[in-house]
């Protein structure tokens, strides 16, 4: 199957390309950019006039809910949602039931995903057995089974000795440890940022120091152990500043932010909208501005969807009782474009946060369209407008704070390994 994507505006942050260029795909790989390679005969031509051609998006946090939570979402539904969102690779956190703490579970997930022939799935293994924060998992075995990093997901790891040992062990093999910074005592029962809105609404709150205290522990232990540390879903201005300082001091730390936090703040909770019950909590407008500034100056490396499909029974409840999380795979690209428009960013810089940068965090040779690279491609219409409605989403999770909001930018074609897996 030879595909010729013609007349599209090609944006490839890694190769510094932003111009109209044809893309030639053969044997699942990028055969050439610009000029037709010798002997190339297209079996399919995609006319991308007026469209943008970019590397397939890479999402660092997408919950597929398998195994264990199939009532919330299935691999089938969420993989379909991913390609509809132009996402060709995704990392899934280990917070399944049971958690991804045994090679067999990881192999099963990889196998199921492979059968579906859609986005590449990169499981993040559990850092501790059962995510209980007590015993280490068989990290090397888990990597052999397909894990790309290790994480506690949102489960607490209060024993700092265990955390240090886990980092040391991971560092032994050169594995990455991904952690979300939140002190579990300070965050206990909290559902909203400890600020004006929580005070007004009477919601149990989580102070910013829950993030900074945990972050300080994690950064200290990373210095101590030399582990490759990735910080997941930063939420506060103070957190951004700590990462900035750590990077300035030369610590090899990377971090991401959820797309929800790029756009929303505590104010969006309004009259207790359970769709805005997220973890970490939406913080103040000042925090949101700092997260955006951190993205611009490179302190924050990547943006993830933090996709968490939740079923209606556990979402349609009073705010604090509602399950945290929102669906996000299909909103990642339009919300990225919205952010780029709002902050007047060059599109290649914005797109790097969901292509090249997450690929580097995952240690993958992906997120670019160099000749010879896997042909994971997203082609989108930057002008097409659509409205977020539950019925319009492929994901089984219909819960999102962006319900009813007009989006600009729609995926037209998604290709994975040179195969057209989605078109609209």
Residues marked active site are found at 306
x-or-dash pattern for another protein, window 161-200, by CB under 8 A? ---------------------------------xxx-xxx
Shortest CA distance to 333 belongs to which of 117, 51, 144, 67? 51
Q: How far is the CB of 274 from another protein (least distance, A)?
A: 8
Provide the phi-psi class of 417: left if phi over 0, else alpha when psi is between -120 and 50, else beta.
left
- The residue (of 130 and 390) whose beta carbon lies closer to another protein is 390
What part of residues 299-338 is at the interface with another protein (CB under 8 A)?
313, 316-321
- Letter string b/e over residues 149-164, b meaning 16 or more CB atoms within 10 A of that residue's CB: bbbbbbbbbeeeebbb
- The residue (of 162 and 209) whose beta carbon lies closer to another protein is 209
By CB under 8 A, residue 285 contacts another protein: no
Q: Which stretch binds another protein (CB under 8 A): 60-68, 265-273, 388-396, 406-414?
A: 265-273
Q: How far is the CB of 406 from another protein (least distance, A)?
A: 17
By CB under 8 A, residue 42 contacts another protein: no
422, β-bridge pairs = 414
Shortest CA distance to 305 belongs to which of 275, 338, 328? 328
Cβ atoms of 33 and 371 closer than 8 Å: yes
DSSP helix/strand/coil, 238: helix
Dist. CA 357–CA 352, nearest whole Å:
6
Q: How far is the CB of 270 from another protein (least distance, A)?
A: 5
- The residue (of 35 and 317) whose beta carbon lies closer to another protein is 317
Q: How far is the CB of 267 from another protein (least distance, A)?
A: 10
- Letter string b/e over residues 112-126, b meaning 16 or more CB atoms within 10 A of that residue's CB: bbeeeebbbbbbbbb
Q: How far is the CB of 354 from another protein (least distance, A)?
A: 30
H helices present in 174-265, as ranges: 196-201, 208-225, 237-248, 259-263
Q: Which stretch binds another protein (CB under 8 A): 202-210, 287-295, 354-362, 368-376?
A: 202-210
Shortest CA distance to 365 belongs to which of 62, 87, 29, 86? 29
Q: Which residues bind another protein (CB under 8 A)?
A: 194-196, 198-205, 207, 270-272, 274, 313, 316-321
């Amino acid at each position: 199957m030879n595909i010729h994507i013609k007349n599209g505006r090609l944006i490839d942050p890694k190769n510094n390309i932003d111009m109209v260029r044809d893309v030639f795909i053969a044997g699942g790989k990028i055969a050439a950019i610009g000029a037709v390679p010798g002997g190339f005969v297209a079996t399919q031509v995609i006319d991308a006039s007026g469209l943008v051609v970019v590397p397939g998006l890479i999402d660092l946090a997408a919950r597929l809910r398998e195994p264990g939570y199939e009532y919330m979402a299935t691999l089938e539904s969420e993989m379909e949602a991913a390609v509809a969102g132009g996402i060709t690779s995704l990392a899934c956190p280990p917070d399944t039931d049971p958690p991804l703490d045994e090679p067999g579970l990881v192999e099963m997930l990889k196998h199921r995903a492979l059968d579906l022939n859609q986005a590449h799935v990169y499981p993040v293994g559990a850092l501790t057995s059962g995510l209980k924060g007590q015993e280490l998992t068989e990290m090397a075995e888990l990597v052999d089974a397909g894990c790309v990093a290790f994480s506690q997901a949102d489960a607490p790891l209060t024993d700092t000795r265990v955390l240090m040992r886990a980092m040391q062990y991971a560092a032994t093999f050169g594995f990455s440890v991904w952690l979300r910074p939140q002190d579990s005592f300070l965050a206990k029962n909290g559902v909203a940022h400890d600020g004006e809105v929580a005070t007004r609404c009477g919601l149990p709150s989580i102070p910013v120091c829950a993030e900074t205290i945990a972050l300080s522990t994690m950064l200290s232990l990373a210095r101590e152990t030399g582990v490759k540390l990735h910080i997941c879903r930063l939420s506060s201005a103070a957190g951004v500043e700590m990462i900035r300082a750590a990077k300035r001091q030369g610590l090899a730390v990377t971090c991401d932010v959820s797309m929800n936090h790029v756009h929303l703040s505590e104010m969006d909770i309004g009259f207790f909208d359970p769709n805005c019950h997220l973890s970490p909590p939406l913080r103040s407008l000042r925090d949101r501005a700092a997260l955006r500034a951190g993205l611009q100056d490179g302190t924050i490396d990547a943006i993830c969807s933090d996709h968490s499909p939740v079923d209606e029974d556990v979402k349609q409840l009073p705010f604090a009782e509602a399950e945290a999380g929102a669906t996000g795979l299909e909103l990642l690209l339009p919300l990225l474009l919205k952010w780029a428009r709002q902050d007047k960013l060059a599109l290649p810089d914005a797109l790097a946060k969901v292509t090249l940068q997450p690929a580097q965090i995952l240690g993958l040779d992906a997120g670019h369209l160099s000749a010879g690279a896997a042909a994971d491609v997203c082609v989108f219409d930057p002008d097409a407008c659509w409205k977020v409605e539950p019925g319009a989403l492929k994901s089984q999770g219909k819960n999102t704070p962006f319900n009813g909001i007009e989006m600009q930018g729609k995926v037209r074609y998604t290709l994975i390994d040179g195969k057209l897996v989605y078109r609209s």
